[in-house]
Structure 1
Amino acid sequence: MHMNGNTILITGGGSGIGRALAEAFMQRGNTVIIAGRRQNKLDEVTAANPGMKSALLDIEDAGAVQRFAEAIRAEYRALNVLINNAGIMRPEIVTDGTLDTAEATITTNLLGPIRLTAALLPHLLTQPHAAVLTVSSGLAFMPMAATPTYSATKAAIHSYTQSLRHQLRNAGVQVIELVPPYVQTELMGPGQATDPHAMPLAEYIAETLHLLETAPDAQEILVERVKPLRYAEANGSHQAFFERFNAVSAAETEHADPA
């Protein structure tokens, strides 16, 4: 992937990893468009980064995704990089009988990137140095039991990305998967942004950009902190790791529900 001279669209660019990637790519000489569903957040980011562009996108609405893609193609004819970053992460109790969280998570985290990629791919196929980046998670490989649908959607994004890469292998569009660990963002609320167990956001972005720069043909961008999750299955430690990894969240659930 070329690190400058691109026109890059980043979904979920109003906060967290999306915003940090947008600012980092802009600093490297790219035209950057951030997309999200909250205008006030987009305005906050563009005000802090003169020259950055923004566009409203309701990633849950299939029709809105198609209309958004048509408008983006018309306004930014040089668009050559799509970063599918938008996502939600919410805890679920599978015995409560409700599916609202599961359905919203699938629509946002899985259908959203698939729909937007499909809508923009005909345009990307005509552009030089084109790339599609997806953002999965270490939880694609080591699920968190407290967030079952989130973990499942990220596993699906990993699988989808592999297939997309294979189908586009001779089409001139590079497909790269970013695999974050637990990072200091507000994905699961303000407390996560200061959680000492999470990787500082600036450190995650710096290591990710370094890997993109030094391994331009990489298929997966794996910072060191995510590798234990990524390779647990391969090294035979998955089940033991899973039990340890989920022990804390299981204890918290039991404490919250004495019955």
Structure 2
Amino acid sequence: MDIHHRTAFVVGGTSGIGLGLARRLAAAGSTVVVGGRDTGRVDDLETVRVDVTDPDSVLRARDEVLTAHPDVDLLVTMAGVLLQEDLRDPAHAAAAETTVTVNLLGTMRVVDAFTPHFLARGDADVVTVSSGIAFLPFPLMPAYGASKAGVHAYTEALRPQLAGTGVRVTEIVPPAVATAGQERVNPAALPLDAYLDEALELLTQDPTPDEIVVAAAQHLRWAERDGTYAELLAARSKALAVLPGR
């Protein structure tokens, strides 16, 4: 994928991996707009407020971006939340609903909003962001894994649906990356810059891989194939000890 001199909209780009990626795209010579609910945290890139839980907000953001930048040809959609849940407590349903609405429905809404524009262009890239947890669940965050597995499945369907239109579809599959406090709870979390270095090296290959899976995510992505799934899931389940009564 060419990341130079593109016009990109990065939804979920006001913090974490999204902001890091947006800054890398800008440094490569692309025009970049970042979208999110808290745009005040970004003062070095153009911002547009968008709440992916609100379909009208997504459409307003699309219209604002395309009015200012009618040549948008790269969409990255990665708005997400990461919430713990205790499945023995029915009150977890609120966190589950929020997670699915932001992570999965939010992805669908953003992609849907820009698909007509991209089809009319006949040359564009859509980048979705799932997670290694889509392929090997982290039981402390069950809806997060389910939502990201949904993003993966949706991306796998989107790619053939758009085949032949000139709209390419790529999925980024991150492992734990040291943002949003991950470095405090997971010593294995990759430093953000190291992650971006490796991910962008893969993303800029020609041809672009369908999935961007850095080395630290390979054991998650291929656990079932490699016969390590049960062992790794058992190890990850130890984190449930933080829940009440466990």
Which TM class, normalised by the smaller chain length?
over 0.9
The CA deviation at 1:215 is 4.1
Distance 1:135 1:217 in 2: 15
The one of 182, 192, 196 equivalent to 2:187 is: 196
Sequence identity percentage: 36
Match of 1:22 in 2: 22
The one of 110, 131, 139 equivalent to 2:125 is: 131
* 1:6-45 correspondence runs (5 A): 6-41=6-41, 45=42
- 1:113 partner letter: T
Match of 2:211 in 1: 220
The one of 106, 113, 117 equivalent to 1:119 is: 113
The one of 75, 80, 87 equivalent to 1:87 is: 80
Task: Say if 2:241 is the partner of 1:251.
Answer: yes
Match of 1:67 in 2: 60
Per-residue CA distance 1:98-154 (angstroms, 9 max, x = gap): 211111111100111101111111101223640000010000000010100000000
The CA deviation at 1:73 is 2.1
SS where residue 95 of structure 1 aligns?
Answer: coil
* 1:102-251 correspondence runs (5 A): 102-127=96-121, 129-186=123-180, 190=181, 192-194=182-184, 195-247=186-238, 249-251=239-241
Distance 1:127 1:26 in 2: 22
The answer to whether the 8 Å contact 2:139/2:236 transfers is: no
The answer to whether the 8 Å contact 1:110/1:157 transfers is: yes
- 1:53 partner letter: E
Aligned residues: 244
SS where residue 233 of structure 2 aligns?
Answer: helix
- 2:128 partner letter: T
The answer to whether the 8 Å contact 1:14/1:36 transfers is: yes
The CA deviation at 1:70 is 2.2
Distance 1:22 1:193 in 2: 21
- 1:157 partner letter: V
Per-residue CA distance 1:32-63 (angstroms, 9 max, x = gap): 0000001321xxx2x3x3xx211000111112
Distance 1:193 1:34 in 2: 24
Structure 1 segments (4+ residues) deviating >4 Å: none
Larger mean CA deviation between 163-172 and 192-201 belongs to 192-201
Distance 1:124 1:53 in 2: 21
Structure 2, unaligned stretches of length 5 or more? none
* TM-score normalised by length of structure 2: 0.95
Structure 1, unaligned stretches of length 5 or more? none
RMSD: 1.4
Match of 1:3 in 2: 3
- 2:126 partner letter: V
- 2:167 partner letter: V
Distance 1:217 1:201 in 2: 21
